[in-house]
Structure 1
Amino acid sequence: MQKILKDKIIEVCNHKIAVKGENVGVSFYAFFKNKNDNPELLMEAATWWIKTNRLNHFEKAIKIKSLVENL
């Protein structure tokens, strides 16, 4: 996983956890703007989320953060 994506996932998860608590869920779309301005990075996130880890559409932010930190 590219460092830019890893950093963004951790940043977003930290923010969501701080605002909504440890039970907050996220999808891989949470790490991107509503515009598809970086399709390669979006596909990397989708592949990691769906094919590599076989995660559900929404997962706990704390789980995602832990998975990314342990890469």
Structure 2
Amino acid sequence: MTEILKSKMIAVCNTKIAQKGEGVGISFYAFFKNKNDTPELLMEAATWWIKTQQLDHFEKAIKIKKLVENS
């Protein structure tokens, strides 16, 4: 995973957790705007989420943050 994606994922998880608490769920789409302006980064996130980690569509942000920090 690139450092750009890793940093982005951790930042989004931190924001979501701060806003809605540790029980908040997210999908890999949470890391991107509705406009697909970075398709390579989106595919990297999708591949990591779906193929590498074999996660469900929605997961707890706290879980994702820990996985990313430990990768």
Q: How many angstroms does 1:3 deviate by?
A: 0.6
CA distance in 1, matches of 2:63, 2:16: 12
Q: Where do 5+ consecutive residues of structure 1 fail to align?
A: none
Q: Identity percentage over the alignment?
A: 79
CA distance in 2, matches of 1:20, 1:39: 28
Matched, 1:56 2:56: yes
Q: Determine helix, strand or coil for the equivalent of 1:56.
A: coil
**Misfit runs of 4+, over 6 Å:** none
CA distance in 2, matches of 1:6, 1:55: 17
Once superposed, what is the RMSD of the aligned Cα atoms?
0.4
CA distance in 1, matches of 2:69, 2:57: 20
Q: How many angstroms does 1:64 deviate by?
A: 0.1
Q: Where do 5+ consecutive residues of structure 2 fail to align?
A: none
